[in-house]
Amino acid sequence: SPQIHLSPVSYCPPLGLESLRVDDSQIQASSYLRTGLGPHRGRLNMQAGIEDGDLYDGAWCADYKDRHQWLEVDALHLTLFTGVILQGRNSIWSWDWVETYKVQLSNDSVNWETCMNGTEEAIFEGNRDLETPVLGLLPVPTVARFIRINPQTWYSKGTICLRAEILGCRVHDSNDIYSSEQEPGSKDALDFRHHNYKEMRTLMKSVAEKCPDITRIYTIGKSYMGLKLYVMEISDNPGKHELGEPEFRYVAGMHGNEALGRELLLNLMQYLCSEYKKGNQRIVRLITETRIHLLPSMNPDGYEVAYEKGSELAGWAEGRYTFEGIDLNHNFPDLNNIMWDAQEIAADASKVSNHYIPIPEYYTKENATVAPETRAVINWMQDIPFVLSANLHGGELVVTYPFDCTRDWAPQENTPTADDAFFRWLASVYASTHLVMANPDRRICHYEDFQLHNNIINGGAWHTVPGSMNDFSYLHTNCFEVTVELSCDKFPHVSELPIEWENNKESLLVYMEQVHRGIKGVVRDKLTKQGIADAIIKVEDHGHDIRSAADGDYWRLLNPGEYKVVVWAEGYIPSRRQCTVGTEPLPSICDFTLSKTPIQRLKEIRAKGGKVPQDLQLQLRALRLRKLRASTKAINRRRESQRLEQEQLQKRRARSSRA
């Protein structure tokens, strides 16, 4: 086979065992222990099911313990192979990994040559634990079509098990009938690479300079290590909340090693800017009618750790947590159980608050385990009246929706919100337009087949997550939020980024457009015409209320239908009206005008030392008269009840005396 010299730093990208670009049919093995440990499971970062022995185990494992075992990958084309990355078996029950191995290459899968290190067969260092990926660079990069990993030694108390990725560059071959096939990519001219903190900041600044009229960069706080949490705002009037214009947010990088969301949001900034300048009517309308906020890196400290290792060598968990070791997706206040506990002990559960549940006191103390990143996001949520959001994660292909936390700490249980139907709609909108999720022939990522649920699932039905951002957002603010698991690979190689952008582009856009579904309006004072803040908007048969923003505007996400809506605010007489939501993604306008209660008007006049007008005096007299009549009726009913009880008691005494 021809040999080409490359510097160690310029080794080729992965073939795609982890990303699933390499099909199961391209992977074979000398033997395998059972179906669940077959060659198709020998993929880098493959995760196992909890039960050992099921169909979805965490590695390829050979059936025999000898040096004649191998895992073979067919690259389909002539390929310049430059390296192998190896990992042990993912299992909570077994310890299995390969400690040393050889590499063999072939053009026909019949005649094999062992990779040489000078005049001797090269022996590559493998693993010393289950999870840490180890890179083995070929001493001389070599062109072939097939490659085999041939284990030589393994953990003494285990067996031959491995997960792998192969590094290789496709080579032009005039005899290859598939050589003219177009490599998948993107036509959008975006900066497709992984950006560290400094590069991310530079890119955001460049977008702001290209589109100064529709962008603004601001920070919401700092990470534990002092890195700023940057947000890009995209709107036709950046820096200002416009009356009636909904606020939308995307959050990425909550887990620092789940890097795809970060890059997608950086892509999205560039795309919205360039398409707006081109006059793309869909994008112009979206930016004109929506205030968009993009937080690409909620956990920049964790990302920097994963970035240092690189996309294939960071493993499954390196950089997931903050510098303090906190999982941000479990770090928000658990408001679910506060609400559920209150409902259980209440005489009337419908009277228990179902929204804007306050942060518990224990969470506000100085010694509470609350990450600075979490505090920053909570303050951000309270400053801006967000309507809709999505939290971008990675490592699976599914969209989850609240509640994430289950009742009574069940490990898995469907736990719907009062808005379950709309949340299912939101999740379906993203999943059905995602090019991979929507593909019925796609392979499952690890061990769960989410296609059985149309690629959406209630968070609690998947696994319970107390203190999630989604649940907190729903119960503490007006904002509806889902979690999107963007791809099987948490940290895709840079070569995969254009493909992943195309997979997610339409989903990212159409999901933002859902912020305009349902009803919206302004709650105003009848006399002053001023907006009323914190007015409660209650939709009949929906046990989740929302509140108006500082200017009195509100947005209530709803599916198409007819709704009875009641609005009330402290000191005002409630107002009721019927609101209709159509099938188009356009909000139905439902404004409300509230009149102050006579008592409230009297309080305000007296506070100012003014004279009570005659109409108010008449209203107060009528109110007192109504109260008097109501109290009289209540007293009469109580007296009648007491009289009847007295008569019943006398009758029972008379009967007992005759007996």
Say which amino acid occupies 249.
R
- Choosing from 485, 496, 500, 513, which is the catalytic residue? 485
Of 466, 451, 449, the closest CA to residue 411 belongs to: 466
Of 383, 299, 15, the closest CA to residue 164 belongs to: 15
- Expressed in angstroms, the distance from the first to the final Cα of the chain is 116
DSSP conformation class of 351: G
Tokens of 410: 């069940």
The CA-atom distances, in angstroms, between 103 and each of 6, 54, 120, 126, 159 are 18, 30, 12, 12, 19
Cβ atoms of residues 485 and 397 within 8 Å: yes
Cβ atoms of residues 166 and 312 within 8 Å: no
Residue 222 neighbours by CB distance under 10 Å: 15
Q: Is 540 a catalytic residue?
A: no
Of 153, 128, 130, the closest CA to residue 65 belongs to: 153
The CA-atom distances, in angstroms, between 28 and each of 41, 68, 364, 565 are 10, 14, 56, 62
Q: Which residue has the tokens 């007992």?
A: 656
Taking the C-alpha atoms of residue 498 and residue 529, their distance in angstroms, rounded to an integer, is 51
Ranges of beta strands (E only) in 133-227 are: 134-154, 161-170, 215-222
What is the 3-state secondary structure of 403-436?
A: CCCCHHHCCCCCCCCCCHHHHHHHHHHHHHHCCC
Contacts of 146 (CB under 8 A, 6+ apart): 72, 73, 74, 75, 105, 106, 107, 108, 109
Of 17, 30, 19, 24, the closest CA to residue 86 belongs to: 17
Ranges of beta strands (E only) in 367-413 are: 386-393, 398-401
Say which amino acid occupies 484.
V
Q: Which helix (H) or strand (E) holds 539?
A: strand 536-539
Tokens of 219: 């920070």
Q: Which residue has the tokens 């015409």?
A: 529
The CA-atom distances, in angstroms, between 581 and each of 417, 538, 565 are 20, 15, 12
Of 546, 264, 544, 490, the closest CA to residue 390 belongs to: 264
Q: Which residue has the tokens 């180890």?
A: 134
Catalytic site residues?
A: 485
